[in-house]
């Protein structure tokens, strides 16, 4: 496929294989455009680590993120899109042909669709980085089973924190939501469920100051922002381990395009209704984009629009 000397020529390069990228891949390949969707890890993005996608039309109340993504991948591939596990290391978007460099080689594309999404925000407190994977986790779906009958703290008050906390109650003995304000940000129907769950407790106006442990999380140090009171919550001796699941939002993964593609102050890429960025032939779709609602349904929609507009752009700029 690639000999290391010449760049492989594509019509459309999609960067990121979450719902936005997979939808773009599906639409672009269905329009007979030679399309590769580049993914640095596992396809699916944030959806893969989501237990239930209850609000994607037609997915059904119990649709799991992983099965939804598996069907998206299959569908995109059935139209000819190639989904490649090959992390994009550099891009040059300035010319008519855009260049994409990965460890496997260099690709040239007439159009690029950026669908790199976001990554979980970190608390940034002492112990968090050191104990990630040792009690600190950003994925309840992946790690809930490790906390069977243990005590778990979920940090944040948005949809993700409350939904994942509800999921964790199926495993953990007790789940405490630690929120920096005294009111949840999550949607009403989610918070109502949470308030009715006997295994869920809340610590309001509270932040995590430190996560402690030798090899695994043994304790969390919490600070009440109103009173200044510091509390230590320690794992029971027989448990030996606490869970800490921060769900405090996302940061856009836009580093590769910094300085080239116009973004807002938080790093979200600015597009028009056609998902066009400030650079001809470069589109953005999904959570990476500045927009009012980040959901699977809006990501899939963005991907479709971006691919159709990329098709029109390629058609109008034949060379
Ligand atoms: P989010 O809505 O931005 O909520 C982040 C939460 O973390 C907020 O409660 C925020 O507190 C808190 N927070 C932020 N920084 C913090 C810090 N440094 N320390 C402590 N707490 C901090 O993020 P999200 O819940 O991850 O959701 C992201 C997007 O995905 C949203 O658009 C959401 O609607 C969507 N989503 C939807 C669903 C669903 O519809 N089922 C599920 C998951 C996610 P404040 O409230 O005080 O700002």
Is the shortest distance between the CB of 249 and ligand 1 below 6 Å?
yes
Give φ, ψ of 62 to 5 degrees. Answer: -105, 15
Residue 135, domain member (yes or no): yes
Is the shortest distance between the CB of 253 and ligand 1 below 6 Å?
no
Annotated active-site positions, please?
A: 139, 142-143
Is the shortest distance between the CB of 156 and ligand 1 below 6 Å?
yes
Same domain? For 160 and 14 the reply is: no
The closest-lying atom of ligand 1 relative to the alpha carbon of residue 161 is: 25
Residue 146, domain member (yes or no): yes
Distance 78 CA to ligand 1 centre (A): 35
- The residue contributing the CA closest to ligand 1 atom 31 is 294
Residue 94, domain member (yes or no): yes
Same domain? For 53 and 104 the reply is: yes
For residue 19, what pLDDT is reported? 97
Contacts of 65 (CB under 8 A, 6+ apart): 44, 47, 48, 49, 50, 51, 52, 53, 141
Distance 37 CA to ligand 1 centre (A): 28
Same domain? For 209 and 283 the reply is: no
Is the shortest distance between the CB of 240 and ligand 1 below 6 Å?
no
Contacts of 87 (CB under 8 A, 6+ apart): 38, 39, 40, 102, 103
Is the shortest distance between the CB of 163 and ligand 1 below 6 Å?
yes
Per-position DSSP letters for 139-198, written without gaps between them: -HHHHGGGGTTSEEEEE--SHHHHHHHHHHTTT-SEEEEE-SSSS--S-HHHHHHHHH-T
Residue 1, domain member (yes or no): no
Same domain? For 98 and 15 the reply is: yes
Determine the Cα–Cα distance for residues 144 and 129; give it in Å rounded to an integer: 19
Same domain? For 280 and 299 the reply is: yes
Distance 287 CA to ligand 1 centre (A): 13
The closest-lying atom of ligand 1 relative to the alpha carbon of residue 250 is: 26
- Domain boundaries, position 164: 122-246
Q: Candidates 50, 159, 161, 204: which one to mutate for ligand 1, based on the most atoms within 8 Å of Cβ?
A: 159
Q: Which of 226, 246, 266 is the last residue of a domain?
A: 246
Distance 159 CA to ligand 1 centre (A): 6
Determine the Cα–Cα distance for residues 289 and 21; give it in Å rounded to an integer: 12
Determine the Cα–Cα distance for residues 80 and 77; give it in Å rounded to an integer: 5
Is the shortest distance between the CB of 294 and ligand 1 below 6 Å?
yes
| Total of domains in the chain | 2
Residue 189, domain member (yes or no): yes
Residue numbers of the chain with a pLDDT score lower than 70: 1-5, 51, 61-62, 319
For residue 237, what pLDDT is reported? 94
Residue 3, domain member (yes or no): no
Same domain? For 206 and 151 the reply is: yes
CATH code at position 163 = 3.50.50.60
Same domain? For 223 and 258 the reply is: no
Compute the Cα dihedral for 39, 186, 55, 274 and give only its sign.
negative
Is the shortest distance between the CB of 287 and ligand 1 below 6 Å?
no
Q: Which of 246, 272, 290 is the last residue of a domain?
A: 246
Same domain? For 42 and 156 the reply is: no
For residue 62, what pLDDT is reported? 65
Same domain? For 177 and 219 the reply is: yes
Is the shortest distance between the CB of 247 and ligand 1 below 6 Å?
yes
285, 303 contact by CB (below 8 A): yes
Distance 4 CA to ligand 1 centre (A): 43
Residue 145, domain member (yes or no): yes
Alpha-carbon torsion, ordered 80, 81, 84, 90, to 10 deg: 140
For residue 125, what pLDDT is reported? 98
Same domain? For 192 and 254 the reply is: no
Same domain? For 101 and 241 the reply is: no
Q: Candidates 55, 160, 190: which one to mutate for ligand 1, based on the most atoms within 8 Å of Cβ?
A: 160
Q: Which of 246, 264, 282 is the last residue of a domain?
A: 246
Residue 147, domain member (yes or no): yes
Same domain? For 52 and 132 the reply is: no
């Amino acid at each position: 496929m690639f000999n290391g000397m010449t760049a492989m020529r594509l019509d459309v390069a999609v960067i990121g294989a979450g719902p936005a990228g997979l939808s773009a891949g599906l639409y672009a390949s269905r329009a007979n455009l030679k399309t590769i969707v580049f993914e640095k890890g596992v396809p699916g993005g944030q959806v893969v680590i989501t237990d239930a996608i209850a609000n994607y039309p037609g997915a059904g109340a119990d649709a799991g993120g992983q099965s939804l993504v598996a069907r998206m991948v299959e569908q995109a591939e059935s139209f000819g899109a190639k989904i490649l596990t090959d992390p994009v290391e550099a891009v040059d978007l300035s010319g008519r042909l855009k260049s994409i460099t990965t460890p496997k080689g260099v690709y040239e594309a007439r159009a690029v669709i950026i669908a790199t999404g976001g990554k979980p925000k970190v608390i940034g407190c002492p112990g968090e980085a050191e104990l990630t994977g040792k009690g600190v986790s950003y994925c309840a779906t992946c790690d809930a089973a490790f906390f069977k009958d243990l005590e778990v703290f979920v940090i944040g008050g948005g949809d993700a924190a409350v939904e994942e906390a509800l999921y964790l109650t199926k495993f953990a003995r007790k789940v405490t939501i630690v929120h920096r304000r005294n009111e949840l940000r999550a949607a009403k129907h989610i918070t109502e469920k949470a308030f009715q769950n006997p295994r869920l407790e809340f610590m309001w106006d509270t932040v995590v100051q430190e996560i402690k442990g030798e090899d695994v999380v043994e304790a969390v140090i919490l600070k009440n922002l109103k009173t200044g009171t510091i509390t230590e919550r320690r794992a029971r001796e027989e448990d030996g381990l606490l869970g800490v699941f921060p769900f405090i939002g996302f940061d856009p993964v836009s580093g590769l395009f910094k300085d080239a593609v116009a973004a807002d102050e938080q790093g979200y890429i600015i597009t028009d209704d056609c998902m066009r960025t400030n650079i001809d032939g470069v589109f953005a779709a999904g959570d990476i984009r500045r927009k009012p609602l980040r959901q699977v349904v809006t990501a899939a929609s963005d991907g479709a629009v971006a691919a159709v507009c990329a098709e029109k752009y390629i058609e109008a700029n034949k060379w």
